[in-house]
Structure 1
Amino acid sequence: MVSDFSSKIFHKANVQKSLYSHLVGSALALEIASFARQQQAPILCIVQDNQSANQLKQEIDYFAENDQLASIFPDWETLPYDSFSPHQDIISARIEALHQFLSMEQGIILIPVSTLVQKLTPRSFIEHHSLLLKQGQKLDPENFIRRLTLAGYKNVSQVYSHGEFAVRGAIIDLYPSGAEFPLRLDFFDDELDTLREFDVDTQISKDKISSISLLPAHEFAVNDDTIALFRQNWRSEFDISRDPACIYQQISNGAVPQGIEYYLPFFHEQLETLFDYLPDQLQIIELGDWQQTLQQNWQEISERFQLRKDHILRPALQPQQLYLQPDELNQRLKHYRRLWLSQGESQSSIKATALNYTAIPDVTLDNKHTDLMHRLLSFLEQTRHRTLITAESPGRQEQLAQWLSDAGLNYSTVTHWRDFVQEDSVQEDSDCFITVAPLSEGFIDKDGNIQLIAEAQLYGDKVRQSQQQKQSQVDIENVIRNLAELQIGAPVVHLEHGIGRYLGLQKLDIAQYETEFLAIEYAGGDKFYVPVQNLDAISRFSGNPDAKVVLSKLGNEKWSNARKKAAEKIRDVAAELLEIHAQRAVKNGHSFSLTSQDYRLFSAGFPFEETTDQRKAIEAVINDLKKPNPMDRLVCGDVGFGKTEVAMRAAFIVANAGYQVSILVPTTLLAQQHFDNFRDRFADWPFRIEVLSRFVPAAQQKTILSDLQQGKVDIVIGTHKLLQKDIKFKCLGMTIIDEEHRFGVRQKEKLKAIKANVDILSLTATPIPRTLNMALSGLRDLSIIATPPQKRLAVKTFVRRQDDLLIKDAITREIRRGGQIFYVHNDVASIERKADDIRRLLPEVSIAVGHGQMKEVQLERVMQDFYHHRYQLLICTTIIETGIDIPNANTIIIDRADHFGLAQLHQLRGRVGRSHHQAYAYLLTPHSKSMMTSDAKKRLQAIESMDDLGSGFLLASQDLEIRGAGEILGEDQSGQIQHIGFNLYMDMLDKAVEALSAGREPSLNEVLADKAEIELQIPALLPDDYVIDVSIRLNLYKRIASAGSSKDLDALKVELIDRFGLLPEASKNLFGISLLRLRCNRIGIKRIQLNDSKGYIDFIEKPNIEPMLIIELIQQKSHIFKLDGPSRLRISNDMDTSQKRLSFVQQLLHQLENG
């Protein structure tokens, strides 16, 4: 381990502060890890910021082979005196860390300067509100719930985040602070029977655990005592505002407002510091010039205090109440032994010991040279030290191994650092060793005769950050189909009766039994009640959420006709798709071969780890290009999800094979952006890339056109100019079309002519849902990139009243981290006035204005300047809804957000959050709530609560899904989808494609196939004391009704028992009836109705049973069965209990199914 590598740093005798310099690259992490192993006390390592802490922890973890040695005490990631709170996960991590510090004897704490100066909740609070939970302990559930509330936990219907709990009878779900997974506690009377971790996405239990420390949810409690203390402290410090938005009034009412952390002193008698949590023998390591960061941090705190000290609603506390002053901090540090470490020269007046580490020289790969690795080979030849080369992922390691092998180097693979430093554990005849490690920069250790080269040093740039991607277990499409988050009044579709409004779940007494129904209101106020076991006939109506929905009328033929018309159109669509597929299979095109060495090197230039979906799309495109048939593939993915890289890989393969590539885009701005990106990406390759747009002078355009015809241009990017008759290619191999739906009708006709002859790769950011992809599987070449890139974070969304201070904070926070801001002001008449207001507020910020009434050339110039970072802030109308990708813009402020629709707000918010930085959206509303409609308030509440990377995306963009479907299937089909709803349309298309693919003509009945209805007059429901939350109950009913097999039903049973406890009798009946429905659908039974003495069975027109079976049944048991018309079987029998009725139907169906 690291102990095998002796640390060169130590505390010198009788010296309070020892200084060391020249800890080059990751030698710094190596020395800290080695030093910590030799210490019997905790080490506090002061770093400049969170980013430095994260990188250092990764490197220490590698050298120590122990991810527990170093921990980060995280920064709040908010500005001093901010108006919103840290993320709950950050609060959770901090509380866990404070709890560990109370008993810490060894290890490294990495702490950013901004966190070190914060005053903290007292140790007594953490100790008093912590509880060790153990399996088998005596614990009264009601007292425990009270204790959770006092510790700041929030009672919710379903647990998703740290600091939440949910109660379901004898089961309590809980997400403790600091825990990796939430817990399911199962009580048996007043004994804690079991503790099980469960998955947040599926809500299903995982592993049992024996114990866990339950920590408080916040650094303060909100109860009667603390509220009284808060009020007393406030009154002694500030005046009292009667405004209900005032912090004082909110806390007095038991609410916990955003930004309350900056009033922490009011909740406690006395705050403490990090030094109070840690032992006296603590050792301090100081990195680089952190004192300068400390002074800058204090200056920022002081400036922000001056701005906020007189705020009426949120007056600021004195800085010394919340923070340690620089002099005070430095005085505290004098009590400890200190090491100062620098990666470069020492700037201190105290003499530093220079360690014998030196930097790795230039070893970058050189694809202009015949020998790609000549610099590395030369370096290895000169030094003769044992060499370790690190890759950032296993895939990158494979690539590195291939290059080393091609260069004739003999390498060995090692897993751990200790394998490399221990001479007896490695092969001495190896030229070098390779491993996977997250190191940013290598070093030469002349004392130890070893050297380490980080992968980034081979590429001469920062390499992709690779972490294991979490694969979600939840199909997002099912979130829609399962009616999750369905609100009262939302439109739904019933397969037979059409579009109505959801009124909620209602219980009715049927034949003395309580039964639960989903109530739907239709036109004219008519109500229809759907038994919960038949909820598979219900789907969410997916259309524009802001549009008025026309409700169907019960008993009216209009819905039935609309459904039949759609079914006929759907059959035509399915047939056309199959025909296109057959035609393309016989066409001849180019078959491109792949030069593996060149392609590997080009791929290595992509500075990120590919997402799973991106990798699949790239593989699909490569396979298409290898085939002799022409490619016609559509790649769908949100802006910033990696479509362009797929196009670049394809362009490289075609250009490398000697063919030309044209890239067609709808706007000049996009053409320029693609040109810049392609030029950067292909910089090291001998391909000529040109752009044709109005920004290119006429003389230069003429030259480009001539060179295109002669084959001197390899890749050309342009707008519709590329479709003009004077454009001639010498050898066009592929056309890439970006956002085809944004071209006009005439341009689309020209595109069709192009498509007939060359390989086509189309890119779109319009969401195409996965159900459509499934329906078209094998018929249309479609790749969906739905996985967000690594480190992509959901956009933090805040609905706030218009406030200059808030606007100034938001813009300042973004500019300080080097980012840009969109400010949406959707009124051209007053946009210049708004720009002047912002200039007065922030005179040092460079501001541009853009709107749709500007001349096109002028607008494009503004957007281009913003894209190239010439402006920090763009004040604009909704022209940015769709357009270029600006990864550097990570804050958006939307004026009068109450005037926008839900889908429009979602799209505007989607302009930010394109990089790995945390993005922010501020939705500004008028000061008076009376100026907003109730619908606007609901929309804002919904968008604030929606997770941009989760199910909320689909909920907010149903209109986009319909556009996406129209793009694939044609505009006519978009109309059909609007009439009958997206989900029903997709189900019907799926059935039609399945029938045609199997070689049979889909009948109207097959496309409109209804599921069996069963009414046995028995209790069949999930009692509301079993599943309390209505939305969860609705979701489960839908999943049970939609289960496709007995295996699915068994899995659901297991899940319910796991989440809610043993099934009540009524719930067992619900599963029994659902199993019977599956058998009825297989046999061809439309309806079964039974009471205690009689009933009937209705068959479909052509059931899947032998007619003789029915005849034999009637002959053998004529006293029970009689035919009533061609499709009804009458039943008379003694079935006076629910169990008898259930058993009777089970036996009858078994007989019909098995003969």
Structure 2
Amino acid sequence: MAPLSFPVPPLPKSGQLRAFWRAPASSTALAWHIACAAAAHRGPLLVVARDNQSAHQIEADLHTLLAGDGSLPVVPFPDWETLPYDQFSPHPDIISQRLSALHRLPTLQQGIVVVPVQTLMQRVAPLRYIVGGSFDLRVAQRLDLEAEKRRLESAGYRNVPQVMDPGDFAVRGGLLDVYPMGADTPLRIELLDEDIDSIRAFDPESQRSLDHVQEVKMLPGREVPMDDVSVERVLATLRERFDVDTRRSALYQDLKARLAPSGIEYYLPLFFQEARSAGSAARDATATLFDYLGETVLPLLAPGVGAAADAFWAQTQNRYEQRRHDVERPLLAPEELYQAPDTLREKLNGLPRIEVWAADHARIEDAQALGDQPLPPLPVAAKDAAPAEALKSFLGSYAGRVLIAADSPGRREALLEVLAAAGLKPEVIPNFAAFLPSPTGRRWREAPDEGTTLAASSSKKAAASSASVSSTAAQKKQVASGRTLTPTPLSHGDSLRSPAGEGLDSAGVEAMPAAFAIAVAPLDDGFALDDPHIAVLTERQLFPERAGQPRRTRRAGREPEAIIRDLGELTEGAPIVHEDHGVGRYRGLIVLDAGGMPGEFLEIEYAKGDRLYVPVAQLHLISRYSGASADTAPLHSLGGEQWSKAKRRAAEKVRDVAAELLEIQARRRARAGLALQVDRAMYEPFAAGFPFEETTDQLAAIEATLRDLGSSQPMDRVVCGDVGFGKTEVAVRAAFAAASAGKQVAVLVPTTLLAEQHYRNFRDRFADWPLRVEVLSRFKSAKEIKAELEKVADGGIDVIIGTHRLLQPDVKFKDLGLVVVDEEQRFGVRQKEALKALRANVHLLTLTATPIPRTLNMAMAGLRDLSIIATAPPNRLAVQTFVTAWDNALLREAFQRELARGGQLYFLHNDVESIGRMQRELSELVPEARIGIAHGQMPERELERVMLDFQKQRFNVLLSTTIIESGIDIPNANTIVINRADRFGLAQLHQLRGRVGRSHHRAYAYLLVPDRRSITGDAQKRLDAIASMDELGAGFTLATHDLEIRGAGELLGEDQSGQMAEVGFSLYTELLERAVRSIRQGKLPDLDAGEEARGAEVELHVPALIPDDYLPDVHTRLTLYKRISSARDSEQLRELQVEMIDRFGLLPDAVKHLFAIAELKLQANTLGIRKLELGENGGRIVFEAKPDVDPMTIIQMIQKQPRLYAMDGPDKLKLKLPLPEAADRFNAARGLLAALSPR
């Protein structure tokens, strides 16, 4: 069978060095042409991108386009993702990927190497180091464990207690756990005597074994060697060339102790100097990526590469000049670490290459177009009467084949539903490769204007027969005439398969794939090609309003309401609230037969052993009990008066509270004229100066804050985000917007250290703008403070930062417009009263990691605006948290783990009197540690010096009191040990733990406690909560745990805590929300309200549940049941389906029924229907007392079809129709609701 073929884009011809491509309109089209060129070129294709983001995008698109084609490997060589001369090292995952690439490149016969231009400029370890430092381990091989430990340490691997990251290893008895560089998972090597008995992959999180492997390739553990010879060579260079003070230099001392200092990669050339001859300088023996790729490499330069190289070089030189005078950490010149842009250009000029030019290139007319066409927007609007009219029109007119590329299986299913509603049914295919017109594998043919045939050697057999790249006579004729193989244009009534026999030869080549198909193929953008004649549509074309917003997988329970009311954490016996029946105890999920159909029910036990079985469709009536400890939670009786009385008391209190809070809010709203005009011409360049990429949540919080500032009513916004998630930048942007509009800004913080930290951050960000930032601090003299207060009063200071000193009467502002409060929970009652007075007059922005319960409640009730930053910065890893008793061996391992990777530690000991003794103990335990002390009783200047020394890495362990709780931002410190953690509050523990994990390194928190039997029950609960919340963004969840541990007294005052303890925090908040909503609408809150939350009951007598063989975990099932029953609209249900398919696979029929019933329930709620019930012989609808259905509609239905419909009493409509199958009942239910809906 002769496969179909694809054209090769222009490559450098014989005797030519360059080919010029015109950049396609679509980035994914460029990736397609890169794949075609790589398949035709006999050697590696080196794709040089302008930056990391472009490289990642090209790599991702190539992986999708080449899915299933092992003949064209895509090998990324990632950037370190650190700035030049940074004092911390790249993440082990990045080093692992780079070492894997360096090991693979010398033997890469054909494939695609993707690299950002700044990374191509780097000098790297020579090939001899990568090859010479690699070795194999295989089953049945003899292995001396002690010798292997020494070999691994010499190769740069880290000896740790538990293997978590690439480059770790641990020895326990006859087991060697090791995470080889370049491997996807760590390996567990089991010895029998001195022979390797087995090698198994294992999961680093659960530590459970996975698959067996026979052998493993061990690569070096670092990009620099840490053997004695290499390290001594570097130490000698530091002494002789740089004349460092060997006693003060942390870099020198760490290397001498055989610890790899953080940022050691920026000394890489020193490790590879050739031995010197007498009187001559050492020769640099580093390599570049070209040394690994060989002579057959073909570089492809993406648009903008030259300018990006020049910009990076300027940045590197600038950072070198700023930092070169640090005698304790001497720097290598940029030329030693990188190839200069001119050197790189000279290298590239000597090689055949492809240059891709953007449309604005001066010589764009000389570049060749690649045969792709721009795609029009084809918007699909699910709510429109004709939701896919543009797409239908395109399918009818386009002569080629069309693929819809979905981001995930869940998105594919959602798209199929939308398309089906529009009468379109694409064929589902597994991936992009299945859409291509070659049934037996890809082959690329010569382009019509090329003089030589360029065949892809897509496997070892590719060159076996010249016939493999030949075409049939019919195909050759078409190619010669310039036509391409196309199926007959599709009309929408036709089958969505290409016509049988189209383009086939007599040998019977298989038919072309589907003319209209859909596949899971996450691509950046859509594209259309002339040959093959295909169009690929992504969601960018179908949903243009989402263009430029990369999809994030929605995490369950991230919304505040979902976090608080989540049922996923329930354990058997936990208190639980049913809105109609009160507080009982959760006894699990149980499957029961209901009307002959299996259904899953929540079992609740009440007083006297009574049981209530709640259908999963009614889980919106269930909430997790919060407000007191589980031990003191009430237990109500089924059918008793106790619950209804408690609920009514709570509702009465809630009504009063809602009115009071709304009155406060109304007074604020009445103060008009505070609108600030944000000068976008100034603001946009300022925002662009932020050196990191904002997360989606962070951008949303910034935009919401700017909107509030532009409102005439005072802003009162709470930004809740975990420590290090970017709250400060929200405040910086708001402060700039206010200050540039002529208003003064006060930034209020709880501690002097945090004031200094914010002062440095604000000053750095405002450095290029004519705005003055100052700080009121105890580090300043009284004379300095007086002078600054005068400037504040005169308007000479735009942004003033300080502690509660800013709230003193002598602080007068000329024109205060914005107050930023950081860590509100750290202020006392008097400060909060002063803030309350401010709140009505100025814009207020509150930043918090764990909101106090009052703030939490007001935000939940909609009385204070809330922004949650729940997305971690890129590469940020969760803090691994351990609760343990004091153990010398464990502590020594914790210290060594951090020091071995060049990091720093905090050791928190909150007792000034014994802190000196603790320093001596730690020095004996870890002699190589350099320990500094900080506490609040030190003189201000000395404390400032200590903190600065720690920041400069002059010592690597900071022994301190809770003075570090706020204000220390040391990205290189990634381990914290908290002594007597049982004595701290939950929010405080969370804040302290947030001191670490502020970079992309794995961080560790060790909470030391005495014997658990000797600590209080509340302390135990706090420790369990902080240990379980080790995921990123847990601060909000911890605030709700605080309610359970401390009780609800702090929420809105002691007088309400009794009512809350009776009904639980979740229901109390819901009652408050309803009361606020009623009062806003001018209605008196109905104390017996609850019907609106109850919603319609839909019973179709079909199995509707999540089977345990589909999802075995009961907690996850419970959470999903709750989310389905609580969904507020069809879009939420669709998102949930997408999420479930992505997480667990295609939905079984019973789950599809569950979603369909939830959809019917939403429709029934809008019509005022209490119950919809259908079975084999028909069914009935029960209406509420005042349904939203026109009585004439019901009368007309009965008059037109009296045999079908009849009234049964004043509130029931009967349906007499046989409905034997589930599909019949769903169709009948949808028809009924549609008939009753207003036209």
1:71 to 76, 99, 105: 76
Name 1:716's counterpart in structure 2. Answer: 800
SS of 2:192's partner is helix
SS of 1:1004's partner is coil
Structure 2 counterpart of 1:716, which letter?
A: I
| CA-to-aligned-CA distance 1:704-728 (integer Å, 9 cap, x gap) | 3334334444433222322233333
Name 1:431's counterpart in structure 2. Answer: none
Name 2:878's counterpart in structure 1. Answer: 794
Change in Cα spacing, 1:423 to 1:339, as seen in structure 2 (3 Å) is farther
SS of 2:577's partner is strand
SS of 1:492's partner is strand
Q: 1:388, 1:61 → 2: CA distance?
A: 27
2:831 to 723, 747, 754: 747
Counterpart check, 1:697 vs 2:781: yes
Name 1:949's counterpart in structure 2. Answer: 1032
Name 2:407's counterpart in structure 1. Answer: none
| CA-to-aligned-CA distance 1:142-165 (integer Å, 9 cap, x gap) | xxxxxxxxxxxxxxxxxxx99xxx
Check conservation: 1:536, 1:1038, Cα contact below 8 A. Answer: yes
Counterpart check, 1:676 vs 2:760: yes
SS of 1:1033's partner is helix
Q: 1:793, 1:1021 → 2: CA distance?
A: 36
TM alignment of 1:852-1001, pairs within 5 A = 872-876=956-960, 885-895=969-979, 906-923=990-1007, 947-949=1030-1032, 955-959=1037-1041, 979-1001=1062-1084
Name 1:474's counterpart in structure 2. Answer: 555
Name 1:17's counterpart in structure 2. Answer: none
Q: 2:58, 2:185 → 1: CA distance?
A: 32
Change in Cα spacing, 1:1061 to 1:1002, as seen in structure 2 (3 Å) is same
Q: 1:64, 1:1109 → 2: CA distance?
A: 55
RMSD: 6.9
Q: Please report how far the alpha carbon of residue 647 of structure 1 lies from its aligned counterpart in structure 2 after TM superposition.
A: 2.8
SS of 1:567's partner is helix
Q: Please report how far the alpha carbon of residue 892 of structure 1 lies from its aligned counterpart in structure 2 after TM superposition.
A: 1.5
| CA-to-aligned-CA distance 1:535-582 (integer Å, 9 cap, x gap) | 222233355889864444444444333433443444455555655555
SS of 1:890's partner is strand
Change in Cα spacing, 1:651 to 1:1026, as seen in structure 2 (3 Å) is closer
**TM-score by structure 2 length?**
0.55
Q: Please report how far the alpha carbon of residue 1117 of structure 1 lies from its aligned counterpart in structure 2 after TM superposition.
A: 9.8
| CA-to-aligned-CA distance 1:901-942 (integer Å, 9 cap, x gap) | 87775554333212333322345678x999999999999888
Name 1:425's counterpart in structure 2. Answer: 364
Q: Please report how far the alpha carbon of residue 838 of structure 1 lies from its aligned counterpart in structure 2 after TM superposition.
A: 0.9
Q: 2:183, 2:580 → 1: CA distance?
A: 52
Change in Cα spacing, 1:1091 to 1:687, as seen in structure 2 (3 Å) is closer
Change in Cα spacing, 1:999 to 1:964, as seen in structure 2 (3 Å) is farther
Structure 1 counterpart of 2:823, which letter?
A: E
Of 980-989 and 58-67, deviating more is 58-67
Name 1:130's counterpart in structure 2. Answer: none
Check conservation: 1:636, 1:768, Cα contact below 8 A. Answer: no
| CA-to-aligned-CA distance 1:431-479 (integer Å, 9 cap, x gap) | xxxxxxxxxxxxxxxxxxxxxxxxxxxxxxxxxxxx9976332352346
Counterpart check, 1:231 vs 2:192: yes
Of 890-899 and 645-654, deviating more is 890-899
Check conservation: 1:669, 1:864, Cα contact below 8 A. Answer: no
Check conservation: 2:904, 2:956, Cα contact below 8 A. Answer: yes
Uncovered stretches (5+) of structure 2, i.e. residues with no partner: 1-8, 18-37, 64-72, 83-90, 116-123, 141-164, 167-178, 236-250, 260-270, 276-282, 289-308, 319-339, 346-353, 368-547
Check conservation: 1:660, 1:714, Cα contact below 8 A. Answer: yes
Q: 1:1017, 1:59 → 2: CA distance?
A: 54
Q: 1:733, 1:486 → 2: CA distance?
A: 46
Name 2:1165's counterpart in structure 1. Answer: 1081
TM alignment of 1:492-511, pairs within 5 A = 492-510=576-594
Q: 2:1156, 2:1119 → 1: CA distance?
A: 18
Q: Please report how far the alpha carbon of residue 889 of structure 1 lies from its aligned counterpart in structure 2 after TM superposition.
A: 2.8
Check conservation: 2:572, 2:586, Cα contact below 8 A. Answer: yes
Structure 2 counterpart of 1:839, which letter?
A: S
Change in Cα spacing, 1:792 to 1:112, as seen in structure 2 (3 Å) is farther
Q: Please report how far the alpha carbon of residue 1109 of structure 1 lies from its aligned counterpart in structure 2 after TM superposition.
A: 8.9
Check conservation: 2:850, 2:1036, Cα contact below 8 A. Answer: no
| CA-to-aligned-CA distance 1:626-670 (integer Å, 9 cap, x gap) | 455544444333333333333333333444455433333333333
Q: Please report how far the alpha carbon of residue 517 of structure 1 lies from its aligned counterpart in structure 2 after TM superposition.
A: 1.6
Check conservation: 2:185, 2:203, Cα contact below 8 A. Answer: no
Q: 1:925, 1:94 → 2: CA distance?
A: 41
Change in Cα spacing, 1:888 to 1:500, as seen in structure 2 (3 Å) is farther
Structure 2 counterpart of 1:425, which letter?
A: I
Counterpart check, 1:666 vs 2:666: no
Name 1:649's counterpart in structure 2. Answer: 733
| CA-to-aligned-CA distance 1:601-622 (integer Å, 9 cap, x gap) | 5444432233333334434444
Structure 1 counterpart of 2:727, which letter?
A: K
Check conservation: 1:664, 1:735, Cα contact below 8 A. Answer: yes
Q: 2:365, 2:344 → 1: CA distance?
A: 14
Structure 1 counterpart of 2:192, which letter?
A: R
SS of 2:193's partner is helix
Change in Cα spacing, 1:515 to 1:417, as seen in structure 2 (3 Å) is closer
Q: Please report how far the alpha carbon of residue 740 of structure 1 lies from its aligned counterpart in structure 2 after TM superposition.
A: 3.7
| CA-to-aligned-CA distance 1:670-722 (integer Å, 9 cap, x gap) | 33333333333334445444333433222323333334334444433222322
SS of 1:640's partner is coil
Q: 2:94, 2:1109 → 1: CA distance?
A: 31
Check conservation: 2:716, 2:845, Cα contact below 8 A. Answer: yes
Q: 1:360, 1:1037 → 2: CA distance?
A: 52
Of 812-821 and 1047-1056, deviating more is 1047-1056
Q: 2:873, 2:729 → 1: CA distance?
A: 12
Identity %: 44
SS of 1:703's partner is helix
Check conservation: 1:543, 1:959, Cα contact below 8 A. Answer: no
Change in Cα spacing, 1:626 to 1:721, as seen in structure 2 (3 Å) is same
Structure 2 counterpart of 1:483, which letter?
A: L
Check conservation: 1:659, 1:714, Cα contact below 8 A. Answer: yes
Q: 1:745, 1:935 → 2: CA distance?
A: 24
Q: 1:674, 1:896 → 2: CA distance?
A: 29
Change in Cα spacing, 1:941 to 1:671, as seen in structure 2 (3 Å) is closer
| CA-to-aligned-CA distance 1:291-332 (integer Å, 9 cap, x gap) | 9995479999xx999999xxxxxxxxxxxxxxxxx99x99xx
Change in Cα spacing, 1:953 to 1:1037, as seen in structure 2 (3 Å) is same
Change in Cα spacing, 1:741 to 1:255, as seen in structure 2 (3 Å) is same
Q: 1:361, 1:1113 → 2: CA distance?
A: 78
Q: 2:1117, 2:933 → 1: CA distance?
A: 50
**TM-score by structure 1 length?**
0.59
TM alignment of 1:1057-1072, pairs within 5 A = 1059=1144, 1063-1064=1148-1149, 1070=1154
Q: 2:675, 2:757 → 1: CA distance?
A: 30
Name 2:323's counterpart in structure 1. Answer: none
